[in-house]
Structures are given as C-alpha cells and as structure tokens.
A and B are shown apart, each in its own frame.
Chain A
Amino acid sequence: MTKKMKLSQLSDMLQDLDVESLEGVTIEGDIELNITGGGGLNPALAYALGSEISQISLHMANIGRMLGFPAEQLFASAFGMGEMPQPQALPTSPKIQELLASKFEVSKVDNWKNPIQEVTLGATSGDGGSRKNTVTIGGENALPYYFDAEMPHRNYVTMDVFDMPIGMAKSVKGNYEDVINDPAEWAKKVVREFNADMVTIHLISTDPLINDTSAKEAAKVVEDVLQAVDVPIVIGGSGNPEKDPEVLEKAAEVAEGERVLLASASLNLDYARIAKAAMDYGHVVLSWTQLEINAQKELNRKLMKQCNVPRDRIIMDPTTAALGYGLDYAYTNMERIRLAGLMGDDELTFPMSSGTTNAWGAREAWMVSSPLKQDSDWGPREYRGPIWEIVTGLALSLAGNDMFMMMHPTSVQVLKEITQTLYGSIESEEIDITNWIGAEV
C-alpha cells in the first residue's frame, strides 16, 4: 500500500512544531531551509535554531520511515553512531561566547493611590507658637524609601525626658546622670548634644501609684521644657488611664498654640477629653492602640467622627515591641496599616510614631550576660543595648514608621544615619566594591 503525501500536508504537519519563534527561517516548497540571520547570529539563537532544526529533521525522518525509508540507518551512518539519537541526547550545556542581551524591567505598584496624611508638629511665632522650626511627617505615596514615589519627608527622632529620675539601663543612664533631676536641662542636653529633632516630656510622676504629682504641678514642667528648648515637643502622661486625661488637658492648656503632640489617646481612657484638649488649644493627638489594626481603625474613626479631630491632627502609635519580644507583630501590624492606607483605607492614612525606647525592655539590651548557661557569650552590654534600639527602630522604619521616640544617643545617631541614607539625603564618598573579596579588614 502506498502512502501519498503532498508538500502542503507536510507544511501542515510542521505547523504543529511551534516554530513561530524562529524568525529568519522559511521553509520553501522544495524543503530547503533558508537561514537569514545575517553575519551576527547570536549564539543563543543559533543554539535554539539548531535544536529546532534537529527536531524538524527527526520529524522528517519519521515521515521518511512512514514512507518506508530506513531513516535510522542514515542517521547512524551520518553521525557515526549505532543508534538513532534521541532528542534528549542533544547537548545540554552549549558553549556560549557572548552574554545574551537582556534588559531588566519592573513596573511600579499601581494600587498605591492614596497619599498618607501630612501632619505638622510645632508652631513658629508666625503661627501663634514659639518654636524655631516645625517638623512635618507623612505625605508618602509608597512604602518608605521605595522608588515608586519620592518620600516627601525624612524620619524624625524625638528623645525622651522624664519629670523624675527613673530606672534605666546602665548604658543609657550614663548619658543623663548630670540632668536626671532637671527636665529642662535634660531637654537642652538631648537637643544640643544628641541632635534630637524633638523632645518628649513624660509626666510619669503624676501616676497616683508613683508620686501622684498634680496636673497643675506637672504642667509647670511642661512650661519649663518649652522655655528650655525651641524644637517641637511631645507631652506624655504616666500611662494611668484615670489620671492621664486630666494631666494632658492641663499640659495642653499651658502649651496653647505650640502644636505639641499629646500622648496619648487610647480606647481604654477618656480619649474624647484628650481630643477636646487638643482641639481647644491647637495640638495634635497621638492615637495609640495595641498591635491591632482594627482597634486602630476604631480609635481613629472615633477621633474623627465623634470628636471632630481634623485629619491633619492625628498621628498613630500602633505599639512597638522590642526585637525578640514581639517585633514581628509590631512590624507586620505597621506594614499592614501602611499598605492599607496607601491602597485607600482612609481610617489608616496617618503618619506613625514608634516608642522605640521599648527596645530597652529586652534583656539582651541591658543584662550583663545571658541568664542561660548554654548560650554563647553575649559580649559587652554597652554595645548590645544601642544596637537593640537601632534594629528595633530600623525594622519599623521599613514598615512605614515616620517618627521615633528614643533614648540612647548612639542609637539616635545611627538610626538617623541609616534612615536618612535610605531617604537619600546622605552624601558620602563613592566606594568601589568590584574587588571587595580581597579587602584587608
């Protein structure tokens, strides 16, 4: 029985072979392959072409066999082999003489459409305050330092000052022994010597379980600090939910017009009273919740809808846990909040603040050595503490945190250096790393 085959049928068969990617190859009626790659056929294309042609020749040979021709023998004699080569037996590691050309491309994120709210702290004399400068945070259109959109403001650091001596890690305390009984001097020191952008005065002595200092007395300390420094300030209570509203209200009154940050309104105290104080005396509210994105939404909503706090007077503190003590939750909580804001959740489009000082609660930051005998040596704690605070803050800066409340001067300096480097404002000598392997260190 004879089989007849026309050339048109043959090219139909070839259509199944997926050769459309082979530009420059045409199959003519007389089954001649014309390769028109020009002089500079690139090596990868040549290899791919070779592979395709071999595949085609196999199919051709099959057709030959269908027609009764012993194609395998022809192959065997042509290649000096005993068997017909299988397609898999083609070389797997071809020699390539030139790098394959390629262009790297990546798109920008297209669903970051909602900018973060800008919030300004501090007021100069022109705006009814007495600060020499103001600090503006927020305004982002992308995750921090990303190429998708320029970050409008750098990160800022506000350093802690307390209204009474408190227990501190040894390496922190060493920096403040001379000012520990004088909040005004303490404030001056962090601004002048430690390059703080702002100062936080924590009125912890007002706690009924500590000194129960009256709101009025505490307000005097606020006045002293405002006199001592001309940077914007944050006013913090003691954390006692019964007493804080009264203390912050009085402090807000004496700081009228200075656009301070009141720390903080939370769901477990009379946040409306704190919000009202901020509105009455021209301040900003810190909306503090505990590692819970929905609670953060709820509090922000209440501040806006129920207390009529305008959007440019809200900053969020979604809680900072120390490295090794829940930073994974704090990091992801902030990252989720920031992404939700950028993607359009208006209840979360506020700049964020971190109580980075919490890092000092980690035993790795302050203990002389590990309490566990099996651990490797922890090394000197003077160096462990500051880096604990730095890495805690740095992680949150990458999650979208804008402002840092910090404690150790070295931590402040290094955190500023890295966040401003990523922000793009640090110039430095270019370093050639092409031969880093041989560097003498």
Chain B
Amino acid sequence: MKINSPLEAYKFLPATNCGECGEPTCMAFAAHLIDRSHKLTDCTPILEPKFKKKYEELDALLAPEIREIVIGVGEKVAKIGGDDVLYRHKLTFFNQTQYAYDVWDTMDEKDLVERVNYIQDFKKFYVGNFLTVDMVAIRCTSNDPKKFGAAVKKVVETTDLPLILCSFNPEVLKAGLEASKDRNPLLYAANKDNWKEVAELALEYDVPVTLFAPNDLDLLKSMAKTFAAMGTEKLVLDPGTFPTGKQLKQTFTNFVKVRRAGIDGDRDIAYPIMAVPFTAWMAHDDPVSASYWETVVASVFTIKYGDIMILHSTEPYAMLPELHIRDTIYTDPRKPVTVDPAMYKVGEPTADSPVLVTTNFALTYYTVESDLASNKIDCFLWAIDTDGIGVEAAVAGGQLTAAKIKKGIEESGFDLKKDTTHNTIILPGLCARLQGDMEDESGANVMVGPADSGRLPGWLEKNWPPQKK
C-alpha cells in the first residue's frame, strides 16, 4: 500500500465519527485500514456518490503491492497474493499459500475420484480449527482434449475445491474450460510459444492465468506486461521450480527477486508467485525420497514467497508438515501469544474432577484444552503465568516454579481443600522435577501426569480418582 500512517488515510474519510464502521471515530478506523484489519467498504458513508472521488483515491492508495487474485467460486474460493511486506513481523503475510494436489487425465476414473475425495477430506485439528488443503490441479498427460475435458468434468462433479487446469496445449485448456466454465479455474500455463492462444482463452472465459517462464525473468515480465496490455491482470507468475542443485538455488534467487521487485513497487511484476515442488518427482525415483524432497522444496517456497503451489505427494508425512509450515508463516504475528492466567473449566467439572496445571502459552493451553475437551473429560485447567513460555522451556528458564504455581492458585481464588474433595493437583510430565517442591509449598497431593497431553485420557483412566493415602 502506498501510505503508512492513519493520518494519511484519515484525510479521505468523511470525518463524521458516525460509528457505522464499528469504530468510535474515523481516526480509529483509519488505523485499522493501515494495519489491514478493516476493509474500506466497512465505512458505508464513504460509498455514497458524493464521496466517490475520495473513495476511489483512498482505495487505490490502500491497494496491496502484490495484486490479489481470486481462484474458484463460492465457499471454497481461494485468494492469493495481496502482500505488502517481505518479512512477516513487519505486518503479517496475507492469503496463505494455496496447496493444490494433482490428479491426471490418464488415471482410472475410480482412482481419480478416490484421490480427489482424499484431498478434499484431509484434515488435521490444530488450536481450535482444522487445517485443510485447498485445491486440485488436473494435469493433462494424454494431450487429448476430450480425455482432459472428461477428467475435469469428473473432478467438478466430485469437489467444490478450486481447480488448476494444467496443459501447454490451448486446445486441451479449452476443453478443460468448457467443463469447468462456472468454476473460475486457474489456467496453467501460458509460455513463450502458446501465449497468444492462452491469453485469448483467459480473456474469453475471464479466468486467471499462470505465466510460465522457467528461469527467465525478462520473459516473465514481458509476458506479464503483454497480458496486462491485452486486458487481464489476473495473473500468476511461475518462474520455474527446478528441483535440485544450482538450478534450485537459482529458483530460490528468482523467487526472492520477483517478490522484492513487486513489493518495491514494480507493478509490472507485482503478481502472486507459483511454485511447483512437483518437479521433485522428476529428480527422485524412490517415492519416499521424492515425497521428502517435495516437502522440503514446498517448505522453502512456502516461507519464501510462493503464493500457490502444485504438489504430488498425498502422504500424511508430506501433507502434515506442509500444513504446519504454512500455518507457521501465515499466522498473524500480532495475535496474542498468551491466554490470561486463570483457572479454566473444561466441560462441567465437579468437586471430584481432576485439577490440572499448564502454562499460559496460548499454544500449550489450547493443545491441552482440546485434548481434554475432545475426549469429553470434565476438569479444572490452571493456566499459570509463565510469560507465555511452554512447559519444558519454562521449567528450564525458571518461569515455571512451585512458588509460581502456588501463587497462581492463590490468585485464582480457587481453594483446593474446600473446592475439591481430593486436594490433589496434576502437574505436566515435563515438570516432574517440581513435584517435591510443589508438595512442600502447597500441602496438596501432587501427581505427575504424562509428558504429552494427548496421553491424558489414558493416564486419567488409570490414575483417576487417586488412591486414598
């Protein structure tokens, strides 16, 4: 975006402090525009005709440096690009990298449907939500428009996920477009040979299109400029993902260069970038090595500026780390690290229910909480103030001590003796060494639970209620 202080945005707002946007003042709203937590359209008054000029000016100033491209339709619609910074701590990265897993048109229909279903159903619970993957890329391996059209049709019938249609043959792409017209698929790809025909298809069907110029940034920029002059800026750039050696190093350099140029204001190249870790399979024969290397390449380009990528391995040991590295990079660094230190109830605990201790590091807290809640365990969960550090590190660093736990208990107003029938607390396995101190400090019975809260259900079954001493 071209401005960076609320004052600069404020100048364009109606200045009535009417509150329609949910903020008390226009100035407060302006601050949210700058940190991109509100949209300009949340200010309904500025949409009135009399403010049209100001709206348009401000809207242009607020537009992200990297264009935002929309793929697919409806609930599963995918947005990519839209970034304003090169380092996440400078603001945050927007629109997490979209992962497309491939199918191909020479697959058996049954296998194809099964694979698409696997892709769309894959999920992993994490901090209160499910992590899922995003898209299906359909590769034309037959070079037969009919076959490709049929495969695309089958995929469209099977899933609402956004699609990438992959072929360098315009006839094939056209057949794919016919079968997925209403789904706003991404075309892959225009190259130096077919660009005229592919551009026409992109314009005719009004869909986003990928430009493929392996290791040739001049060509990539030429194509982007040409497509823009022809009338479409719904572009995705693929500078080529070479899977090994010096070529991979060059790929890394290309990604960094393209994104830096875009953020620095070169509008001609300020589009989302595509990576194709799939090419790892062209360098490795053994499927485990290929999966591993593909995951490694995917991780590199999730961290460094890939906005969308095409992948092949659907092994959980590839998909799980991919989902997590993406979450790592795209989590908003401005969100709080901690939960309030307090006594929390999980389910509907009674005086007989167990009392467990954890830290106020949000990740630790939510992990423990979800392990307990999803197994329908009623209990009290104590989030001790460790300055937002996890259990193991907090014990090592002195932020989690017996005295701290005791203080946390006292401050919460909960009385172990009166409010429970058992006067017992359960420490996380990773702070077993605090058990003795804790007994001395609190006068309560102190039990040591498992090192991982995923094992709490089994552990409680065996150890709860505690034996009367």
Q: Could you tell me which A residues sit within 8 Å of B by CB distance?
A: 44, 47, 92-97, 99-107, 145-147, 209, 239, 241, 266, 268, 290-291, 319, 321, 323-329, 331-332, 335-336, 339, 361, 363-364, 367, 370-380, 383-384, 386-388, 390-391, 394-395, 398, 414, 418, 421-424, 426-431, 433-441
Contacts and interface: CB of A to CB of B under 8 A. Distances in A.
Interface stretch (B32-40, B316-324, B417-425): B316-324
Given A383-B288, A395-B299, A431-B243, A439 B392 contact: no
Interface string B318-338: 101100110111010100010
Interface in B136-158: 139-141, 143
Closest 7 A/B residue pairs (Cβ): A428-B245, A379-B316, A371-B454, A93-B231, A104-B217, A383-B317, A106-B261
A364 B205 CA distance: 43
B275 to A, nearest CB: 12
17 contacts: A96-B229, A100-B225, A323-B324, A324-B328, A335-B87, A373-B374, A376-B121, A379-B317, A383-B317, A398-B304, A422-B249, A433-B241, A436-B278, A438-B140, A438-B143, A439-B278, A441-B282
Nearest to B276: A436
A100 B211 CA distance: 14
B221 A104 contact: yes
B17 interface: no
B110 interface: no
Contacts of A324: 126, 324, 327-328
B320 A384 contact: yes
Contacts of A372: 125, 370-371, 374
Given A335-B87, A374-B374, A383-B317, A100 B226 contact: yes
B316 A328 contact: no
B192 to A, nearest CB: 8
Contact of A96 (B226, B321, B452, B455): B226
B389 A291 contact: yes
A47 to B, nearest CB: 7
Contacts of A441: 278, 281-282, 290, 312
B299 A328 contact: no
A323 B281 contact: no
A105 B317 contact: no
Nearest to B188: A437
Contacts of B261: 104-106
A433 B252 contact: no
- Residue from B130, B231, B393 with most neighbouring chain A CB atoms (10 Å): B393
A217 to B, nearest CB: 21
A247 to B, nearest CB: 15
Contact of B300 (A328, A329, A398, A426): A398
Interface in B332-375: 333, 337, 361, 363, 367, 370-371, 374-375
A375 B132 CA distance: 10
B249 A328 contact: no
Contacts of A421: 244-245, 248-249
B455 A371 contact: yes
Contacts of A325: 363, 367, 390
A422 B328 contact: no
A394 B288 CA distance: 18
Given A326-B361, A328-B331, A422-B248, A47 B141 contact: no
B164 to A, nearest CB: 10
A100 B229 contact: yes
A282 B130 CA distance: 52
Given A92-B231, A323-B321, A394-B296, A290 B393 contact: yes
Contacts of A326: 361, 363, 390
A328 B87 contact: no
A431 B244 contact: yes
Nearest to B375: A371
B10 interface: no
Interface string B279-295: 10111000010111101
A320 B230 CA distance: 49
Given A266-B397, A388-B321, 18 more contacts: A93-B203, A96-B230, A99-B192, A100-B225, A102-B221, A102-B268, A105-B261, A290-B393, A291-B389, A323-B325, A390-B292, A414-B296, A421-B248, A422-B248, A427-B246, A431-B283, A436-B278, A437-B188
A377 B118 CA distance: 11
A379 B141 contact: no
A431 B282 contact: yes
B54 interface: no
Contacts of B56: none
B244 A426 contact: yes
B195 interface: yes
A329 B337 contact: yes
B436 to A, nearest CB: 9
A100 B320 CA distance: 42
Contacts of B247: 428, 430-431
B122 interface: yes
B260 interface: yes
Contacts of A383: 288, 291-292, 315, 317
A394 B300 contact: yes
B279 A391 contact: no
A358 B320 CA distance: 18
Contacts of B195: 99
A228 B421 CA distance: 57
B168 interface: yes
A106 B225 contact: no
Interface in B448-468: 452, 454-455, 457
Contacts of A388: 321
B315 A145 contact: no
A376 B245 contact: no
A433 B140 CA distance: 15
A271 B249 CA distance: 40
Nearest to B391: A361
A387 B303 contact: no
Contacts of B303: 331, 395, 398
Contact of A430 (B217, B245, B291, B295): B245
B6 interface: no
A434 B329 contact: no
Given A104-B217, A372-B374, A376-B124, A290 B276 contact: no
Nearest to A366: B452
Contacts of B282: 431, 433, 436, 439, 441
A430 B327 CA distance: 32
A414 B292 CA distance: 8
A373 B375 CA distance: 9
A417 B466 CA distance: 51
Contact of B123 (A105, A363, A374): A374
B316 A377 contact: yes
Interface in B386-401: 389-390, 392-393, 396-398
B166 A437 contact: yes
